[in-house]
């Protein structure tokens, strides 16, 4: 059998025999001629078949032609077929200026004619039928972009001597807080699903790994239904040794994002414009940095009062500060820095001259938090004090505290939600649109 050609590569070929395979998008069955639009994972192409409606003694091939015609007449949208035929360039063909005249057709799998979802189906219905929803070209592009983005991050990390780690997702203790924790039976004891790789990325610092990264699932038993929360999400994590402050972490973070966005723009910029009508911008460095207290004042001056002054920015506050940053610096990203220790985890280093503040940041992109980063407290006595300060029992954390008892460099890092980056990059309403299979308090299927 001739080699299968991806549809995107057809236009570069000369007229002649080809084989393509994919699923049937539409069939137009006219009396004298039949048209199929066939789509594969790279694009769509028009197939044409001059219809043979009855046997003709003068044509030795008429039985085969009749069979093909009848097969096409009965083809349901969504069926997967393989076609051999003759490629012809023809400017009059609207779809890419090429057409394939069918010589043979093999049906790999017939679809049920009634498709369960349509373009106006609700998001929930589409999620129920995610495999069909994913056939949309926009969805296909999302996951190509994700692949390119992750590849670019990995390339950056490898070029900068990072080590990739795979930390366990089954844990004996919570990694972030007692809230939002999935607990499960683990033989005759309890286990928890990792909320982040936090403790184990810090362990790598004590192990002398220097700089590490991980892209892996994280779990949060978050009962809320928002556009930015999932109960399982892909977390992009990095941790580096020998930082002087969170500034070193932010520098890494922005360089990494520039690498990711540059690769996505180069490879998919035209498709993003075509399918999402977005001119993707590669951010410039340095990203603006604003201390959280100052950001809250800016937002207040714009007339928005954050509901709890002692708390984190709320979503509207994030939108307001992003609007300010866009107007003032023309930038889509902003680091909000120096969060109050009262709203940060015990492992964040506090300011030497003001323990009320931490060496930490959140990164906001197009008005939504995509990441948290910090310099970590590496001095065991202070770390224990900070844990107690947060009402934690140091005994429970002993395995973690050991990492700091046998020598550890200064260090810091960040965790970033992959789906949030994609959602904001592609102006989507929710992370569920850019998550392969979304998990929420009420969604465990498919
Ligand atoms: P944090 O809890 O802020 O920090 O999480 C880091 C980033 O992970 C993403 N994220 C989520 N994405 C989807 N659904 C969720 N339920 C969800 N929760 C978090 C967000 C968020 O900014 N250990 C620290 C990071 C660090 O300091 O290295 C941590 O987990 O994009």
* pLDDT tens, residue by residue, 314-347: 999 999 999 999 999 999 999 999 999 999 999 9
Model confidence pLDDT, tens digit, residues 183-228: 999 999 999 999 999 999 999 999 999 999 999 999 999 998 899 9
Q: Whose CA is nearest to atom 9 of ligand 1?
A: 417
Bridge partner residues of 45 (DSSP): 38
Ligand 1 centre to CA of 153 (Å) is 18
Ligand 1 centre to CA of 76 (Å) is 44
Bridge partner residues of 305 (DSSP): none
Q: 427 CB contacts (<8 Å, ≥6 apart)?
A: 276, 278, 366
70 is in an annotated binding site: no
Ligand 1 pocket member 220 (CB < 6 A): yes
Residue at token pair 């998008």:
25
Ligand 1 pocket member 373 (CB < 6 A): yes
Ligand 1 pocket member 369 (CB < 6 A): yes
Ligand 1 pocket member 202 (CB < 6 A): no
What pLDDT score was predicted for residue 233? Answer: 98
Question: What CA–CA distance (Å, rounded) separates 138 from 422?
Answer: 13
Q: Are strands 368-375 and 16-29 parallel, antiparallel or unpaired?
A: unpaired
Ligand 1 centre to CA of 214 (Å) is 14
Question: What CA–CA distance (Å, rounded) separates 140 from 144?
Answer: 6
pTM of the model: 0.96
Contact 207, 182 (CB under 8 A): no
The per-type count for the chain, helices as H runs and strands as E runs, is 11, 16
Tell me the CA distances in angstroms from 359 to 349, 353, 370, 397, 411, one per residue in order.
6, 11, 18, 22, 11
Ligand 1 centre to CA of 417 (Å) is 6
Atom of ligand 1 nearest to the CA of 239: 28
Quick one: tokens of 55? Answer: 């046997």
What pLDDT score was predicted for residue 179? Answer: 84
pLDDT < 50 regions, the chain:
none
For the chain, the domains span 7-109, 128-434
372 is in an annotated binding site: yes
Q: 98 CB contacts (<8 Å, ≥6 apart)?
A: 10, 11, 45, 46, 87, 88, 89, 90
144 is in an annotated binding site: no
Ligand 1 pocket member 126 (CB < 6 A): no
- Which mutation among 238, 378, 415, 424 tests ligand 1's pocket best, with the greatest number of atoms within 8 A of CB? 415
Q: 7-109: which CATH topology?
A: OB fold (Dihydrolipoamide Acetyltransferase, E2P) (2.40.50)
Q: Whose CA is nearest to atom 20 of ligand 1?
A: 417
220 is in an annotated binding site: yes
Ligand 1 pocket member 414 (CB < 6 A): yes
230 is in an annotated binding site: no
What pLDDT score was predicted for residue 1? Answer: 66
Q: 218 CB contacts (<8 Å, ≥6 apart)?
A: 194, 195, 196, 197, 232, 233, 234, 235, 415
Dihedral sign from CA coordinates of 365, 357, 351, 237: negative
Question: What CA–CA distance (Å, rounded) separates 136 from 144?
Answer: 13
Ligand 1 pocket member 411 (CB < 6 A): no
Q: Whose CA is nearest to atom 12 of ligand 1?
A: 417
What pLDDT score was predicted for residue 175? Answer: 82
Question: What CA–CA distance (Å, rounded) separates 371 from 65?
Answer: 59
Q: 374 CB contacts (<8 Å, ≥6 apart)?
A: 246, 249, 344, 347, 348, 349, 358, 359, 360, 361, 412, 413, 414
- Which mutation among 372, 375, 413, 436 tests ligand 1's pocket best, with the greatest number of atoms within 8 A of CB? 372
- Which mutation among 177, 196, 344 tests ligand 1's pocket best, with the greatest number of atoms within 8 A of CB? 196
Q: Containing H/E element for 380?
A: helix 380-389
Ligand 1 pocket member 176 (CB < 6 A): yes
Question: What CA–CA distance (Å, rounded) separates 311 from 307?
Answer: 8
> If we measure between CA atoms, which residue out of 384, 426, 403 comes closest to residue 138?
426
Tell me yes or no: is domain 128-434 CATH 3.30.930.10.
Answer: yes
328 is in an annotated binding site: no
User: The complex's ipTM?
Assistant: 0.99
- In this structure, the dihedral spanned by the alpha carbons of residues 71, 73, 78 and 84, taken in order and rounded to 10 degrees, is 50
Quick one: tokens of 112? Answer: 């049920």
What pLDDT score was predicted for residue 205? Answer: 98
- Read off the DSSP letter of residue 85: E
Question: What CA–CA distance (Å, rounded) separates 389 from 350?
Answer: 13
Length of the chain, please? 446
Ligand 1 centre to CA of 313 (Å) is 15
């Amino acid at each position: 059998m001739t080699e299968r050609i991806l549809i995107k590569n057809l236009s570069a070929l000369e007229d002649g025999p080809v084989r393509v395979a994919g699923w049937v998008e539409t069939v137009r069955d006219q009396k004298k001629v039949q048209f199929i639009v066939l789509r594969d994972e790279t694009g769509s192409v028009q197939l044409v078949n001059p219809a043979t409606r009855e046997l003709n003694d003068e044509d030795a091939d008429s039985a085969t032609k009749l069979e093909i015609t009848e097969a096409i007449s009965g083809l349901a949208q969504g069926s997967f077929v393989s076609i051999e035929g003759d490629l012809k360039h023809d400017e009059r063909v609207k779809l890419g200026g090429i057409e394939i005249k069918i010589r043979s057709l093999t049906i790999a799998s017939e679809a049920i004619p009634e498709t369960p979802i349509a373009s106006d189906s609700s998001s929930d219905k589409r999620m129920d039928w995610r495999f069909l929803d994913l056939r949309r070209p926009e969805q296909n592009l999302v996951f190509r972009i994700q692949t390119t983005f992750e590849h670019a991050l990995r390339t950056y990390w490898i070029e900068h001597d990072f080590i990739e780690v795979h930390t366990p997702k089954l844990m004996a203790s919570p990694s972030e807080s007692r809230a939002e924790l999935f607990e499960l039976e683990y033989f005759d004891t309890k286990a928890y699903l990792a909320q982040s790789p936090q403790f184990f990325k810090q362990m790598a610092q004590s192990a002398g790994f220097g700089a590490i990264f991980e892209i892996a699932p994280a779990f949060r038993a978050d009962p809320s239904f928002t556009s930015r929360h999932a109960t399982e999400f892909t977390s992009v994590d990095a941790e580096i040794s020998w930082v002087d402050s969170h500034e070193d972490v932010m520098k890494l973070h922005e360089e990494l994002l520039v690498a990711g966005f540059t690769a996505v723009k180069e490879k998919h910029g035209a498709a993003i414009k075509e399918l999402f009508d977005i001119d993707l911008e590669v951010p410039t460095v340095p990203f603006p940095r604003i201390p959280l207290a100052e950001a809250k004042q800016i937002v207040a001056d714009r007339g928005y009062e954050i509901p709890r002054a002692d708390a984190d920015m709320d979503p509207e506050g994030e939108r307001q500060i992003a609007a300010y940053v866009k107007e003032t610096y023309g930038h889509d990203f902003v680091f909000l820095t120096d969060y109050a220790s009262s709203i940060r985890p015990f492992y964040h280093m506090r300011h030497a001259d003001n323990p009320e503040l931490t060496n930490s940041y959140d990164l906001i992109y197009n008005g939504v938090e995509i990441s948290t980063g910090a310099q970590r407290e590496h001095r065991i006595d202070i770390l224990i004090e900070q844990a107690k300060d947060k009402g934690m029992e140091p005994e429970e954390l002993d395995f973690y505290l050991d990492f700091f008892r046998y020598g550890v460099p200064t260090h810091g890092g960040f965790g970033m939600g992959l789906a949030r980056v994609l959602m904001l990059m592609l102006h989507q309403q929710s992370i569920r649109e850019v998550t392969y299979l979304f998990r929420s308090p009420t969604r465990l299927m498919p």
